[in-house]
Amino acid sequence: MHRASFPILAAASLFALASSLTSHVNAAPAPASAAAPGLDYNFFKTRVQPVFLTKRPGHTRCVVCHTQNNAPFHLVQLTAGSTAWNEEQSRQNFQLIQKVAIPGSMDSPIVHHPLAQDAGGDPHHGGGQQFESQNDPAWQTLKAFVMGAK
């Protein structure tokens, strides 16, 4: 796994992160596509969100913790009785994930934080090592999202 190998990438990442944070500070919800160039809303809605809802053997689902706690990555709570987010909630989630998804950067926390350390991820994630390998299809989906897949 190559993370922040090039100064240009690092600078771009910082710029993207700063832009993202600035958009939060200004708190003026813009159309999702304009707020996050490189991150595709439809890919997020149809491919990424299901990753957060999927129960993986041995693990707690992402949605359990990230809808309740105040971790940097937050998801909107599901409507009672619902098993998926509605359109408005999905757009809110898309805005929220930009705190941890830096367009084009493998330094994005959403990519390395839930990945096992042995596979190139962080030493610790409160939600456990959700992905044991970079070959995990769900992790590949997160990577593809960050890298701009449509």
Partner 1 sequence: MKNKQVLRGVLAGLTGLALCAVSASAFAAQLRIIQTNFAGDSMHIIDPATNKVVGQITGIEAAHGIAAAPDGSRIYFSEEADNTLSVIDGKTLKVTKKIPLSGNPNLVDITPDGKTLYVAIALTYNDLSEFPRIKAAPSGGVDVIDTASLTKVKTIAMKGGVHDLNVTPDGKYVIVGNARGGRANVLTVVDTKTNDVAWTMPMDPSPSPMAVSKNPDGSTKAIYAQNGRDNGFQVVDFATRKVTNTVKLPDITGNQQNQFGPPAASHGIMVTPDQKTLLVNSRFNSALYAYSLPDLKPLGAVSLGGRGAGWLTITPDGKTAYVANEHTNNVSAVDIKSLKETALIPVGFAPARNTIWMAP
The contact set with partner 1 (CB under 8 A) reads 24, 27, 29, 55, 57-61, 64-65, 67-70, 74, 76-77, 92, 95-96, 122-129
Q: Which is nearer to partner 1, 113 or 143 (CB)?
A: 113
In this complex, which beta carbon is closest to partner 1, that of residue 7 or of residue 57? 57
In the complex, what is the shortest distance from the CB of residue 11 to partner 1, in angstroms, rounded to a whole number? 25
Q: How far is the CB of 74 from partner 1 (least distance, A)?
A: 5
For the bound state, the minimum distance from the C-beta of residue 61 to partner 1, rounded and expressed in Å, comes to 7
- What is the DSSP-derived secondary structure letter of residue 133? S
Q: Which is nearer to partner 1, 45 or 99 (CB)?
A: 99
Residue whose CB is less far from partner 1, 127 or 147: 127
Asked if 24 contacts 36 with a C-beta cutoff of 8 angstroms, the reply is: no
The half-sphere exposure of 34 on its side-chain side, counting CA atoms within 13 A, is 5
C-alpha–C-alpha distance, residues 86 and 10, integer Å: 35
From the CB of 54, what's the least distance to partner 1, in Å? 13
For 16-83, the DSSP string reads: HHHHHHHHHHHT----HHHHSTT--HHHIIIIIHHHHHPPPTTS--HHHHHTTS--SS--PPPPTT-S
